Structure 1
């Protein structure tokens, strides 16, 4: 008997606005992510990939379809138990960290919300796990580098000991040299903790570094699902995926302009 997936999404739709202003941002998206696996959603800006992630995190109202975590159906309201099991790391670490809170206060907040004790040892352990020294503990986000801020964001997610991380373009705001460090950190944490990842990115190389399977999104739909081995071999079925591969090989204005879209 097959083990139930850690994340299951079935026929997810997300609509913004009403009447003439209505936009169907996500259209019938279905996907499964196995326990301990890393699954990537890729596509150009506006493809709906981040909207899928935010619906799973219950940060958006009004979605329809079904979302299950470890076999349990999620409602539209966030609840503490599910939130503790499933944490999110956002694209912009500077925007996601309170600018007037110290790193210590930022890491203390989720512990207070979830009523957890032993704050100091938990904070010290979280900093150590993401490769940050204790000397940063009482600094503010503007006093540390972008890569360090993203490590703090990851530490904040990990301090609740979740089973799932939702990763929304976690390296796109960072320098290329720092991106590799953050990806390697995420890969190590997944291996050590047995985490399940659902990652969104427009960068195929980033997704291929971290993920086992990849779904390509365009205009709110999943148009193709691949293994990372198929992606590396360019063994793809859709023209849109081929053009994404071509564009990701280097900055190609002609390729970007010619991307296929689906009505």
Structure 2
């Protein structure tokens, strides 16, 4: 096999692929199926959006991929390798998650330095000072923030720290769970622009969950629309912009999206 064919083959392997994912909550008679037969794939360097109302199952998919939910069936492939229900250290060097609420996701009594150093200590990585400084620069904060506490930061600054923490192990895939919904509207665009810039600079792959179609239009290449635990439609953002959905639920979602103009 020629080297060019090997490169093409590597590029053809999706960064993240999910096949027939079922996710459950509860036990016995109370066991509830929250996600039903979900399948999609995200190419390396791509950005894929899961869209739907609250309770549609989109965040459940994200948390299952991240390892926070263990009761699931189906196949989750990371770079062509199927992952088990238990995650090892190597998994967390490949995939990291940015949570919705930066007020809840940062320890209030830990300095930013400690928050960013912890993943490095757990994985035995060296040059911690330089890595922490670089991460703060990468997210537009600078080294002067290193020994501050979360209560000394604004919401947008906290979310920048949360993004910096997700990048400490140099992952290839970021799972983004409504990363701007807890922030003021004026700050949301700054964080979205930062994420778009980081994706380009570091060749990251994104799986983004949101109910906001304007966010998807800004951030993603393709989207899957979820309703009641199932994917009802997969489409490109271009098709969404042109208001060309096939499924009635997607059309309702487009019309209900306040302030969203397809043009």
Name 1:193's counterpart in structure 2. 202
Deviation of residue 23 (structure 1)? 1.5
* Structure 1 residues 63-103: Cα deviation after superposition (integer angstroms, max 9, x where no partner): 11000000011011111101111000000011111111000
Name 2:63's counterpart in structure 1. 54
Name 1:179's counterpart in structure 2. 188
* Structure 1 residues 31-75: Cα deviation after superposition (integer angstroms, max 9, x where no partner): 100000000000000000000001111111111100000001101
Cα distance in 2 between the residues matched to 1:105 and 1:48: 33
Cα distance in 1 between the residues matched to 2:185 and 2:243: 24
Unaligned runs of 5+ in 2: 1-7
Cα distance in 1 between the residues matched to 2:259 and 2:206: 27
Does residue 88 of structure 1 match 2:92? no
Name 1:256's counterpart in structure 2. none
Where do residues 184-263 of structure 1 align in structure 2 (5 Å cutoff)?
A: 184-250=193-259
Deviation of residue 242 (structure 1)? 1.0
Name 1:116's counterpart in structure 2. 125
Cα distance in 2 between the residues matched to 1:227 and 1:249: 20
Cα distance in 2 between the residues matched to 1:19 and 1:189: 44
Larger deviation, residues 46-55 vs 129-138? 129-138
Unaligned runs of 5+ in 1: 252-263
Cα distance in 2 between the residues matched to 1:18 and 1:49: 21
Does residue 27 of structure 1 match 2:36? yes
Larger deviation, residues 131-140 vs 149-158? 131-140
Find the partner of 1:144 among 137, 144, 153. 153
Q: Aligned with 1:128: secondary structure?
A: helix
Cα distance in 2 between the residues matched to 1:235 and 1:70: 31
Q: Aligned with 1:178: secondary structure?
A: helix
Does residue 168 of structure 1 match 2:177? yes
Cα distance in 2 between the residues matched to 1:176 and 1:244: 21
Cα distance in 2 between the residues matched to 1:145 and 1:167: 20
* Matched length: 251
Does residue 159 of structure 1 match 2:168? yes
Name 2:4's counterpart in structure 1. none
Superposition RMSD in Å: 1.1
* Structure 1 residues 218-248: Cα deviation after superposition (integer angstroms, max 9, x where no partner): 0000000010000001100011111111111
Q: Aligned with 1:179: secondary structure?
A: helix
Find the partner of 1:11 among 12, 20, 43. 20
Cα distance in 2 between the residues matched to 1:247 and 1:23: 28
